[in-house]
Amino acid sequence: MSQEKQSRVIAIIEDDIDIQDLLSAFLKPKGYTLVFFSSAEAALLELEENQKCDVIITDLQLPKMNGIEFIQKFNSMEKQVPIIVMTVTKSADVAIQAVKQGAYDFIVKPIHFPQLLLSIERALQLKTLKEDFQFLRSIIKKKDPSEGIIGRSQNFLNAISIAKKVAKSTANILVTGESGTGKELIAKLLHTESYRSKGPFVAINCSAIPENLLESELFGFAKGSFTGAVDKKIGLFEEAENGTIFLDEIGDLSLPMQAKILRVLQEKKIKRIGENQARMINARVVSATHKNLAEEISAGRFREDLFFRLNVIPIKIPPLRDRKEDIVPMAEYFLTRFALVNDSPVRAFSKDALEYLLDQKWKGNVRELENAIERAVVLTESTVIQVEDLYTEELRAVMANDKTATFDKNDFHIPFEHTLLPLHDVVQKYIEYAVMKNEGAKDKTAKELQIDRKTLYRKINPTENILIGFFPHWPRSTASSNSGMIRRRRSREMP
């Protein structure tokens, strides 16, 4: 989590010009940036308002305000910068006094430079540790009941506010939304905000389990009820007693299974397989689906009566593309989380990276965004995530393998040729470049080129096959080969 030494700033408070020169001659070649002050008053003024620094070295004997007073005043600003004190006095009392006031270390003049360097390096380590500690503490402090649920868009906040309101009721709740929008997260929130929060939260993905197993998972079975039933098994409805059962992907249930669930909801009783005795259950049912259940009902695949039972209170989570305001805070949250988990020094996104995130379609919603950030945190070699770190494996592979592609992301050259190029070709080439530079983001490209979106579409039409190679979602109307198009472009570039 440490920064490079080159970027570290040392503020030096020393009224003796010769010592300033000596310190400068020794410390500058080590890569530190030095800022000198000849009085404690001047240093206080600048360090409070304008000048950032990582370590302070101060003389104790200064013209007006002395070093001890400086330490007291500076530390009251709570800037957390270590202070190293220099003095000609060898007296232990002075050293103790300085350290008591909050100095980090003490150096006696004439300065022993290797000792000073060691002290600076250790002070910097301490500062880094303190910063990391504060960073971790700020994350822990942020935790609240909806901990880890990030969003500031109005339509997402509406969904959260409904969830919080209805959490305390006994009504069944159906959470809908595309895959990866956070349905399970909301289901957990409904549980933690309910009176049942001390009880269990039991989740089952109805589409992931074969039909015959699903039944025994949900209802349990009696010993010997079928071959292999060597012992009784308690079903999930019973396990969720006094808590919440989350039936995920309820839209994928078969019709016979729907009938069984409907009976449970109506009677609030279950029967373990192989038993006649009905058992009362007390579990709150929250279900979720990415499917449009109204459509499923009209197609005869979902029972309308079950739908009404489950959907007493509906909560719809909008897809990420309809709540773009959530992208940046979520990305920052994931960055922080994955940086912590991976003990990575990554702390921020570049401006381009943030723009890239905002331009994506996020068909896989929050899950896709989360995965993209995790991959970037692991892959990046910088403390700031760059746009390239966010490219998908697919895009990387295309860029790495497509040797015929002449796209240079950072540069645009119009080649010098013996004969001049027709202006139309130059314009066309520049548009291709602009679209590719923006990773296919049409709105952004149109805005930057100051043309409207329709004009951009019209202009890129002849080049769309090049773009498909990089951006699979690009509209495709002709079937000519991608590489052929790129080759043609290239041959034109060769003088």
Ligand X SMILES: Nc1ncnc2c1ncn2[C@@H]1O[C@H](COP(=O)(O)OP(=O)(O)OP(=O)(O)O)[C@@H](O)[C@H]1O
> Binding residues for Mg ion, per CB under 5 A?
183-184, 248
Q: Does 185 bind ligand X (CB under 6 A)?
A: yes
Q: Please name the residue that has the structure tokens 């198009």.
A: 485
- Of residues 182, 319, 440, 469, which one binds ligand X by CB under 6 A? 182
Q: What are phi and psi of 314, to 5 degrees?
A: -90, 140
Q: Please name the residue that has the structure tokens 């305000």.
A: 65
**CB closer to ligand X out of 291 and 442:** 291
Q: Does 190 bind ligand X (CB under 6 A)?
A: no
CA 203 → CA 49, 183, 235, 245, distances in Å? 54, 12, 12, 6
Stretch that binds ligand X, among 61-69, 78-86, 226-234, 366-374 (CB under 6 A): 366-374
Residue least distant from Mg ion (Cβ): 184
CB of 290 to ligand X, least distance (A): 5
- Of residues 109, 260, 263, 367, which one binds ligand X by CB under 6 A? 367
Please name the helix (run of DSSP H) or strand (run of DSSP E) that holds residue 204, with its range, or none: strand 201-205
**CB closer to ligand X out of 104 and 362:** 362
For residue 216, give the amino acid letter. Answer: S
> What are the tokens at 225?
């009820």
CB of 425 to Mg ion, least distance (A): 50
- Of residues 81, 82, 167, 180, which one binds ligand X by CB under 6 A? 180
149 binds, among Mg ion, ligand X, none (CB under 5 to 8 A by kind): ligand X
Of the candidates 55, 52, 48, 61, the residue with the CA atom closest to the CA atom of residue 15: 61
**CB closer to Mg ion out of 55 and 175:** 175
**CB closer to Mg ion out of 183 and 303:** 183
**CB closer to ligand X out of 370 and 464:** 370
Please name the helix (run of DSSP H) or strand (run of DSSP E) that holds residue 84, with its range, or none: strand 83-87
Sign of CA dihedral 94, 96, 98, 101: negative
Site for ligand X in 118-157 (CB under 6 A): 148-151
> What are the tokens at 342?
């991976």
Q: Is 229:235 a contact under the CB 8 Å cutoff?
A: no
Query: What DSSP designation does 421 have?
Result: P
Length of the chain equals: 495
**CB closer to ligand X out of 286 and 434:** 286
Q: Does 371 bind ligand X (CB under 6 A)?
A: no
367 binds, among ligand X, Mg ion, none (CB under 5 to 8 A by kind): ligand X
For residue 294, give every residue at least 6 positions away whose Cβ sits within 8 Å of its Cβ, in sequence order, or none: none
Q: Is 426:434 a contact under the CB 8 Å cutoff?
A: no
**CB closer to Mg ion out of 217 and 248:** 248
366 binds, among Mg ion, ligand X, none (CB under 5 to 8 A by kind): ligand X
SS3 472: coil
CB of 14 to ligand X, least distance (A): 51
- Of residues 58, 87, 176, 181, which one binds ligand X by CB under 6 A? 181
| 198 CB-contact burial (10 Å; exposed 0-12 / middle 13-18 / buried 19+) | exposed
CB of 35 to Mg ion, least distance (A): 54
CB of 246 to Mg ion, least distance (A): 9
For residue 98, give every residue at least 6 positions away whose Cβ sits within 8 Å of its Cβ, in sequence order, or none: 60, 67, 68, 71, 85, 87, 106
Name the E strands within 312-389.
313-316, 348-349, 384-385
Q: Does 251 bind ligand X (CB under 6 A)?
A: no
Residue-wise burial string across 97-124, b where 16 or more C-beta atoms lie within 10 A, e elsewhere: bbeebebbbbbbeeeeeeebeebbeebb
CA 171 → CA 96, 164, 289, 309, distances in Å? 67, 13, 17, 9
Stretch that binds ligand X, among 129-137, 176-184, 255-263, 277-285 (CB under 6 A): 176-184
Residue least distant from ligand X (Cβ): 182
SS3 357: helix
Q: Is 186:159 a contact under the CB 8 Å cutoff?
A: yes
**CB closer to ligand X out of 184 and 388:** 184
Q: What is the distance between the alpha carbons of residues 66 and 58, in angstroms, rounded to a whole number?
A: 9
Q: Percent helix, strand and coil across the chain, each rounded to 5?
A: 50, 10, 35
For the beta carbon of residue 280, count every other beta carbon within 10 angstroms: 10
CB of 366 to ligand X, least distance (A): 4
**CB closer to ligand X out of 81 and 385:** 385
**CB closer to ligand X out of 59 and 217:** 217
CB of 253 to ligand X, least distance (A): 15
151 binds, among Mg ion, ligand X, none (CB under 5 to 8 A by kind): ligand X
SS3 284: strand
Q: How many residues bind ligand X (CB under 6 A)?
A: 18
Q: Does 184 bind ligand X (CB under 6 A)?
A: yes
Q: What is the distance between the alpha carbons of residues 418 and 420, in angstroms, rounded to a whole number?
A: 7
**CB closer to Mg ion out of 8 and 183:** 183
Site for ligand X in 285-314 (CB under 6 A): 290
389 binds, among Mg ion, ligand X, none (CB under 5 to 8 A by kind): none
CB of 428 to ligand X, least distance (A): 41
**CB closer to ligand X out of 102 and 364:** 364
CB of 140 to ligand X, least distance (A): 17
Instruction: Give the interface with ligand X as residue ranges (CB under 6 A).
Output: 148-151, 177, 179-185, 248, 290, 330, 366-367, 370
